[in-house]
Amino acid sequence: MLVDDLVMKYGEKVAVDGLSLSVERHQITAVLGPNGAGKTTTLETCEGYRKPQRGSVRVLGLDPTAQRRELLPRIGVMLQSGGAWSGVRAVEMLQHMASLHAQPLPVPMLVERLGLADCGRTPYRRLSGGQQQRLALAMAVVGRPELVFVDEPTAGMDPAARRTTWELLQELRGDGVTIVLTTHYMDEAERLADHIHVIDRGRLIASGSPFELTRAAGSTTIKLVVTKPFPPGAPASLQSELGDLTEVHPVNEHSLLITGPADATTLAKVSGWCDRNDVLPESLNLGQRTLEDVFLQITGRELTV
């Protein structure tokens, strides 16, 4: 799958702004970004719902709008919400989707795998949010697609349902299905994805495997949280204290993120700086860089809004 220089606008508002990315077969690729970053618009363009206003999109080598009828039987789509009649029973809906495909998966197996057996006869409108999402995932995979698009698959799910969903997605990949998922949960992307595209405001800002993104240049992070707001100019003053090997990113008025080698020297400098500036640390966390940090570092904003 290839997206090349895609631009999508809603009126004056630019949703996708010159986005280019690619997806490898038989992998899980996550499109990670905050709400409103253009993830869903990109996905829906790949699914053929929208025609690219500029640039081009190829999915399984096909043009999703011009060759839609050829493409649709080969892909599975999980929408962010809805997609079923309000009065339809969960299993009935899944059975219906199965009947539109040539060689669908056995419905009872999917029902059991996704824990939908208890609510199989429940009308869609009375399913919980998590049950509706699991049904939507089942509907996306029942036709044995080559490529599955899942839009925020676990938003609002309880931890057990999330685990079930993750396991299913991993098993799909293991069986040769290509998966493209959007998420604003960095732990989801970090844990599931083989490849991550981080997007913000319709642009690709970083791309790579979770390892490449978080362990880039062996850097680690120090997160400094203080009891009262930093004095004015604190990030700059700390930056000059620490030198060029590290980077200081303000998170909010009570916390700072420092990336670079988190060695004893750096720590000593940080605590020395706190002492001289009359700043009382509440916590000082050392860790590997997370995707959250990557996002913050590139955009200057936090991922979870």
Partner 1 sequence: MSAPVSSGTFAPAPGAAPLPRQVLAQARMETRLLLRNGEQLLLAIVIPLIVLVGGILAADHIHLNTTGSAVDTLTPGVLALAVMSTSFTSLAIATGFERRYGVLKRLGASPLPRSGLLAGKVGALLFVEVLQAIVICVVAIFLAWAPALTPAAVVGALLTAVLGTAAFASLGLLVAGALRAEATLAAANLIYLLLMAGGAVVLPTETYGAFGHVLSYLPSGALGGGLRQSLLGQGFPGWHLLVLAGWTALGALLTSRTFKWE
Residues that bind partner 1 (CB under 8 A): 25-26, 47-49, 69, 72-75, 77, 79, 81-88, 92, 96-97, 99-103, 105, 109, 139, 141, 143-146, 171-172, 174-177
**Helix, strand or coil, per DSSP, at residue 281:** strand
d(C-alpha 198, C-alpha 162), whole Å: 21
Cβ–Cβ < 8 Å for 274, 281: yes
Q: Which is nearer to partner 1, 45 or 297 (CB)?
A: 45
Which tokens belong to 38? 């253009």
For residue 256, the cross-strand partners are 224, 250
Least gap, CB of 159 to partner 1 (angstroms):
23
Q: Which is nearer to partner 1, 109 or 264 (CB)?
A: 109
Q: Which is nearer to partner 1, 28 or 226 (CB)?
A: 28
Q: Which is nearer to partner 1, 88 or 274 (CB)?
A: 88
Q: Which is nearer to partner 1, 174 or 232 (CB)?
A: 174
Which tokens belong to 250? 């303000």
Q: Do strands 54-58 and 75-78 pair parallel, antiparallel, or not at all (unpaired)? A: unpaired
d(C-alpha 150, C-alpha 50), whole Å: 17
**Residue type present at position 36:** G
Least gap, CB of 87 to partner 1 (angstroms):
6
Per-residue CA distances from 268 to 235, 254, 263, 275, 297 (Å): 17, 20, 9, 11, 23
Least gap, CB of 30 to partner 1 (angstroms):
19
Least gap, CB of 139 to partner 1 (angstroms):
7
Least gap, CB of 188 to partner 1 (angstroms):
20
